[in-house]
Structure 1
Amino acid sequence: MSRPPSHKKRANLRDVAREAGVSVATVSRVLNTPDLVQEATRSRVQRVIDDLGFVRSAAARAINSGRTQILGALVPTLDNDIFAITLNAMENRLVELGFSLVVATTDEDPEKEARKAKELLDNGVEGLVLTGKSHTKALFDMLERRDVPALVISCFDPEYRLPTIGYDNHKAAALAYQHLRSSGHENVAVVHGPTAFNDRTQARLDAIAELQGGALRNALETELSVAGGAQAVRKLLSQPNDYDAILCLSDVIAFGALNALHRAGKSVPKDISVMGIQDLPASAETYPRLTTVHLPVQQMGRQAAEGIANWVVDQRPPAPIEVQSRLVTRETVGNKSGPKGKKGQRAPPS
């Protein structure tokens, strides 16, 4: 009968002290205040630490320093690539700054967000990154009571009560809608995700409403998914209204819209144009390639990481930062007027 493999015991402070011939207190000083230890002793203790593979636990580090070096992020979902990309950039930058990141999802539910925030703070998170501006009074009261650094991503509003680091959703939607209109599209349908507790989507709709004279027209709410986009387009095609463009307020919805149009025998952009907002990696690989508005979420993630980490360390909140969206012209938006007023001309891809 074979014996189970043996496991080497993890070294602790006492093991390091014994091997180095010093006290536990001296080892602790080497770890926490090395400048107070003579160089020869410090070098000897460090050699033993390396030889034994000693690693301080996060709990021990927190007890000694009063710091956990852990930050939290609350996002609506991990199913949407835009949040996964943002969190990846944020975590990579935080690792460089010596912090760890814990993520919780909220399903766009402010009550659930407040509960998840409390759980994170109860477990030692030193600062929070929130998504959007729709939050409960209970969450704000908790942040104030505990004096916790917290900033907001995915939007930009210098007047908001917390620092915002993100893009201006109003500007992004206006850029998309104006591109369609300048390309000769006169009958634009707008397809968007749920607006309940989602200030980002609402800001985009408000921008379009302003450009339409103050009242939003031809807008259809759907599930924020590929399936939701396809379902919305099938509904639009069943209506007598002859749309010449579909503006999707998310690339994910636009993917579904393109699929549904292809299955219905519609040619994009000859019969109808499609535009998105986000510029996900897959947006350059659709057929035709998706024209969209680029939201610089990687830049936003890195700057949010720096903002919250520096706030925790220096006890100074960051200034609001706007990351600039930009138009990305590809192949799904045609030029309906054409250079000489001819219908059906197609805009060249970039």
Structure 2
Amino acid sequence: MEKTNLRPPVYYSEYLQLHKILDAQLPESEKEGIKADDEMLFIVIHQTYELWFKQILHEITIVRNIFKQPNVSDNSPDIYNAVSRLKRVCEIIEVLVQQMSILETMTPLDFLDFRDLLRPASGFQSIQFKIIEALLGLEYKNRFGQEYYLQQLNETDRQKVIDAEAEVSLIKLLNNWLERMPFTQFEKYWQISENSETHEKQSFFNIYREQYLSSLQPAEMANLEVFDMLFMNEGNYPTDRRLSIEASKNALFIMLYRDYPLLHLPYELLSLLLEIDEQLSLWRYRHIHMVQRTIGKRIGTGGSTGGDYLKSAADQHVIFKEIAELNSFLLPKNMLPKLPENLVKDLCYSRE
């Protein structure tokens, strides 16, 4: 017998719950009998932000679950899925930046019609944005304005943020994934060549260091000290770095030899994390200029210093800066140490 579809028909407005969404704009000015035509725009824009934040959290959760697995193959569908999700996050944040243009059609005088009615509500109370930052890897100790960070939230929202900070962040999961890569762990990968004079095997980073040293300009010699601290002298490795020495070495190896097929997706993933930082910075700085244009030197509705607070937070809240720092140690392709044939075969899809 033919199966009967028992599912009820889906209706557009019910599926999208439009009765909830379109009835969710309740301007404070209307409650007070004040004419403020632009408050509707202000509400819709910020509700849209929060919907996009929800989607970003959805994507980040999927990516974090991928990297929570004990074994994630570099050429598995999981890495492709993670890269696709992070691309989407970048596109969404770009939309958030562009939405500022719509909000800027509201003049400072129009904003004053209803601004004082919003106190003490503030975008600073967006717990979804705080959770996004925390799940990506922004730690409480590195936040600017810790005195404002949680005190303006109600108890329920405060606990949600605290719970998010207790989760394993994406940067920690990334560190674990990079540490599991074999480039610094197995002798056949690590011993690259023999010195023709002493016949003593040298590690890849010893050989690479010689090439790197020859490429530096006099003004760049300080970079060599950082390089040696990060890669050559494990005893002096900075304890405050979220990427371990193994993870940093493997990440740099990926960036240097990205042209090998097996490293295409890992390299793209690292690049997308840097793009997320860049897009978030653009969003913050666009926000700064909008706030300065709209309220000048006024105090924010939530009690912060307004534009000055936003600028300091933008300068400090860089999440994946340790990956960006590795770009200081790149070499032209023609200077890269040649890899052994067995490693080259492992980095290509054909293993013959």
Mark yes or no: TM-score above 0.5. Answer: no
Larger radius of gyration: 1
TM-score (norm 2): 0.29
Instruction: State TM-score, norm by structure 1.
Output: 0.29
Q: Which has the higher helix share?
A: 2
Larger fraction in strand: 1
Higher relative contact order (CA 8 A, sep 6+): 2
